[in-house]
Amino acid sequence: MAAAADEPTKSKGSPLIMTIIGLSVLTVLGCGGGWLVGTVVAPRIKAATAAVQAKTPAAGGKQAAAAAQANGIIALDPITTNLAYPSQNWIRLELALVFKGQPDAQLAQSIHQDILTYIRTVSLQQIEGARGLQYLRDDIQERVDLRSEGRVSKVMFRTFVIE
C-alpha cells in the first residue's frame, strides 16, 4: 500500500487536448467515409441511373400522358393569372381532373376556363394559410362538380404557387 501511495499520479492530459484529438479522429473518419461513398457507391448509382434512362424511350412524357388519359385523368393546362386583390400578386395552378369513366377533353377545357375565371375573382386574403387553401380546393371542387354534372370525381392539385 505504501508503494501505491509513493507513485506519482499520472495525468491523462487536459480536457481541451482530448477534445481536439477526438474531433480530429472523427474528422478523419468522416473524410474516409465520404471518400468511400464517392468512389465506391456513387458510380454504381450513376451507372444504374444511366441504365434506367437508356431503357426509357424518349417519348416517355407522351406515353405517361396517354396512360393517364386512358385511366381517366386529364391534366389541365397551367392556369397563370393575377389575383383580384392585390392585383400585383400572381397565382399559378396546375390541376388534373379524374373522370368517372371515359374522359372528355371538351369538358376539361370548359372546366379549365371556369376555374380561370373563378381564380381571377379571388383575393390573397381569402387563400392565406392552410384553411384558405382548403377553402380554395373546396370551391374549385364544387365548381367542377357543377360544371361536369358529376362526371369528374376529383380535382388534383399538382402545383400551387403565389407570387
Q: pLDDT of 14-65, one tens digit each?
A: 889 999 999 999 999 999 888 888 887 777 777 777 766 666 555 555 665 6
Q: What is the pLDDT of residue 22?
A: 92
Helices (H), 71-121: 105-119
Does 157 or 11 have the greater pLDDT score? 157
Q: How many CA atoms lie within 13 A of 63 on its CB side?
A: 5
Same domain, 80 and 104: yes
Q: Which domain holds residue 29?
A: 13-56
Q: What is the pLDDT of residue 101?
A: 85
Same domain, 77 and 156: yes
C-alpha cell at position 31: 473524410
Cβ proximity of 155 and 137 under 8 Å: yes
SS3 100: coil
Same domain, 40 and 103: no
Instruction: Judge whether 3 lies within some domain.
Output: no
pLDDT band at 138 (very low <50, low <70, confident <90, very high): very high
Q: What is the pLDDT of residue 37?
A: 80
Instruction: Judge whether 133 lies within some domain.
Output: yes
Average the pLDDT over 121-142 and give the result: 93
Mean pLDDT rounded to a whole number for the chain: 83
Q: What is the pLDDT of residue 4?
A: 54
Q: What is the pLDDT of residue 66?
A: 61
Q: What is the pLDDT of residue 163?
A: 87
Cβ proximity of 157 and 141 under 8 Å: no
Q: Residue written as cell 468512389?
A: 39
* pLDDT per position as a tens digit, 59-91: 555 665 666 666 788 999 999 999 998 889 999
Residues sharing a CB contact under 8 Å with residue 136, sequence separation 6 or more, in sequence order: 122, 126, 127
Could you tell me the CATH number of the domain that includes residue 132?
3.30.479.30
